[in-house]
């Protein structure tokens, strides 16, 4: 699964960073932090990102480089070797990635909706009134609109993957990246100058542990998996692209640091605006990002232009993350059915995912009566997938990792010839991966289940 020649060292980083940074950081993280009470949860999250998340990320990258295949094939090889049905873990990862892509496409469709709204706003005579009227009502009332937007997003990703122009897209995205970073910093600074800053700082950085409950651990671990794109074999596929002289633990560490910084910046962007509203309920709503941002753009000169640029960049980031997911799916399909061409595999993946997209897209309309635990279909999908299934798939990946590589292989891939530190780090990493992470994942799932039936 080696990549073409343009792929410099920097671009490999971008692949991993690009898959990690996306809607998970900017859309999902703020409302998960809001839902779980702020500072204490943030602290718990950061701790888990650098223990459970980082250890599994490094394992996935190393497994990909050694196996040079996708997770499906690696798990099948381990099954044959060990004569045990480990291939189920590979299948579970793949199944999750299909459903996550469907879910992710619907949210990307929401971004697309805002993008078009800001575009229309540019041509409106009374721009300010127009921007302040942008909201989610049209989306909430129409499953077909959500499905149509998600389809546009998905078909575009399918087209990029099928035509083999992923690398060209990534180049465009790379050029856009500095704009996104600068825009993000400007917006955070503007948001930070609102009167609510001191309340926000207290909310985010003064940990009140009484706000944590039995589900918090599971929510934090689930989000770590989602935001670092773990448990689905994505990073396994990327690991197979990295050159042999690349020190993968350092790659994993840098990706985790960048992803965490982006997530914290998203909090600093969204919460000062959200705190302007009187209702606390609003913090915990998945519509938090979409509800907040237009209120900031109204206050900025040329806000409609900034808004357009922001949602364009956010959408490109979502396309980038989705393409990674789709590519891994296609690579796994091709591993399994060697006769299938790349185009056929992409078509198969796109149609399959499109079909599943119907469920989250029509969650608020056609399936609005279908409530489990008082939650809508899309909320249940988010929770079951991210808080339960991803961590379980993570456990499977850990098992496959230890079965597919012996201690000498692991050591060889982890320890950097130059760095003396990595010798000591190796033991810490193995301990965290073998004992600490599985124990926390099992505890998190058990606590969530207790909370459910309580």
Give the interface with ligand PFF as residue ranges (CB under 6 A). Answer: 19-20, 22-25, 97, 100, 226-227, 229, 232, 234, 321, 324-325
Q: How far is the CB of 130 from ligand PFF (least distance, A)?
A: 29
Contact 391, 441 (CB under 8 A): yes
Q: Which is nearer to ligand PFF, 17 or 399 (CB)?
A: 17
Compute, in degrees rounded to 10, the torsion defined by CA atoms 252, 255, 259, 261. 110
Q: Which is nearer to ligand PFF, 217 or 325 (CB)?
A: 325
DSSP H helical segments within 68-136, as ranges?
A: 71-82, 87-122, 127-132
> DSSP string spanning 360-420?
HHTTTTTTTT--BTTB-HHHHHHIIIIIIIHHHHHHHHHHHHHHHS-HHHHHHHHS-SS-S
CA distance 379 to 222: 14
Question: Would residue 164 be called left, alpha or beta, if left means φ above 0 and alpha means ψ between -120 and 50 degrees?
Answer: left
Q: Which is nearer to ligand PFF, 256 or 448 (CB)?
A: 256
* Rg for the chain, CA atoms, rounded: 21
DSSP label at 444? H
How many residues are given for the chain? 454
Q: How far is the CB of 409 from ligand PFF (least distance, A)?
A: 26
Q: Which residue has the tokens 């998905």?
A: 154
Q: How far is the CB of 167 from ligand PFF (least distance, A)?
A: 18
Q: How far is the CB of 257 from ligand PFF (least distance, A)?
A: 15
Q: Which is nearer to ligand PFF, 94 or 234 (CB)?
A: 234
Q: How far is the CB of 351 from ligand PFF (least distance, A)?
A: 19
Q: How far is the CB of 236 from ligand PFF (least distance, A)?
A: 11
Nearest residue to ligand PFF, scored by beta-carbon proximity = 24
Q: Which is nearer to ligand PFF, 121 or 233 (CB)?
A: 233
CA 298 from chain centre, in angstroms, equals: 29
Q: Which is nearer to ligand PFF, 131 or 293 (CB)?
A: 293
Q: How many Cβ atoms are within 10 Å of 433's Cβ, its own excluded?
A: 22
CA distance 199 to 143: 37
Q: How far is the CB of 82 from ligand PFF (least distance, A)?
A: 27
Burial of 348 (0-12, 13-18, 19+ CB in 10 A): middle
Q: Which is nearer to ligand PFF, 131 or 386 (CB)?
A: 386
Q: Which is nearer to ligand PFF, 238 or 242 (CB)?
A: 238
Q: How far is the CB of 334 from ligand PFF (least distance, A)?
A: 17
CA distance 405 to 63: 8
Spatial neighbors of 62 by CB under 8 A, at least 6 apart, are 239, 248, 401, 405, 410, 413, 414
Q: Which is nearer to ligand PFF, 79 or 108 (CB)?
A: 108
Q: Which residue has the tokens 């982890």?
A: 414
Coil, strand, or helix at residue 381?
helix
Q: Which is nearer to ligand PFF, 18 or 291 (CB)?
A: 18
Q: How far is the CB of 337 from ligand PFF (least distance, A)?
A: 21
φ, ψ of residue 372 to 5 degrees: the values are -120, 135
CA distance 127 to 119: 11
Q: Which residue has the tokens 């898959």?
A: 19
SS3 percent helix, strand, coil of the chain, rounded to 5, is: 80, 0, 20
Q: How far is the CB of 320 from ligand PFF (least distance, A)?
A: 9
């Amino acid at each position: 699964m080696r990549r073409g020649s343009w792929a410099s060292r920097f671009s490999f980083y971008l692949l991993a960073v690009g898959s990690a940074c996306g809607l998970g950081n900017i859309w999902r993280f703020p409302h998960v932090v809001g839902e779980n009470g702020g500072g204490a949860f943030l602290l718990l999250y950061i701790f888990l990102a650098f223990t459970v998340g980082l250890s599994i990320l490094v394992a996935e990258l190393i497994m990909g480089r050694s196996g040079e295949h996708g997770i499906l094939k690696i798990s099948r090889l381990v099954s044959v070797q060990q004569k045990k049905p480990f291939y189920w873990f590979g299948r579970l990862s793949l199944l999750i990635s299909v459903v996550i892509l469907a879910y992710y496409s619907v949210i990307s469709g929401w971004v697309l909706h805002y993008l078009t709204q800001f575009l229309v706003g540019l041509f409106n005579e009374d721009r300010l009134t127009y921007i302040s009227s942008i909201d989610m009502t049209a989306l909430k009332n129409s499953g077909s609109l959500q499905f149509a937007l998600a389809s546009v997003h998905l078909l575009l990703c399918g087209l990029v993957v099928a035509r083999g122009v992923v690398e060209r897209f990534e180049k465009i995205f790379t050029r856009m990246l500095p704009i996104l970073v600068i825009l993000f910093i400007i917006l955070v600074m503007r948001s930070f100058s609102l009167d609510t800053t001191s309340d926000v700082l207290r909310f985010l950085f003064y940990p009140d542990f009484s706000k944590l409950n039995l589900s918090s651990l599971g929510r934090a671990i689930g989000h770590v998996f989602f935001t670092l794109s773990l448990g689905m074999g994505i990073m396994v596929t990327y690991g197979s692209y990295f050159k042999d002289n690349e020190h993968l633990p350092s790659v994993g560490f840098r990706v985790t640091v960048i992803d965490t910084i982006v997530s914290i910046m998203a909090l600093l962007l969204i919460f000062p605006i959200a705190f302007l509203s009187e209702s606390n309920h609003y913090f915990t709503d998945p519509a938090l990002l979409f509800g907040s941002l237009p209120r900031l753009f109204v206050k900025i000169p040329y806000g409609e232009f900034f808004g357009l640029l922001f949602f364009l960049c956010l959408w490109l980031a979502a396309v980038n993350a989705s393409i990674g997911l789709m590519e891994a799916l296609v690579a796994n399909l091709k591993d399994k059915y060697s006769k299938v061409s790349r185009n056929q595999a992409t078509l198969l993946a796109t149609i399959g995912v499109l079909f599943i997209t119907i469920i989250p897209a029509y969650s608020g309309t056609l399936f609005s009566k279908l409530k489990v635990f008082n939650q809508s279909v899309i909320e249940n999908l988010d929770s079951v997938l991210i808080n339960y299934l991803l961590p379980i798939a993570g456990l499977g990946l850990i098992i496959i990792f230890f079965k597919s590589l012996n201690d000498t292989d692991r050591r060889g891939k982890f320890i950097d010839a130059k760095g003396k530190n990595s010798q000591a780090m190796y033991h810490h990493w193995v301990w965290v991966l073998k004992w600490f992470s599985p124990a926390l994942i099992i505890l998190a799932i058990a606590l969530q289940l207790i909370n459910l039936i309580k």
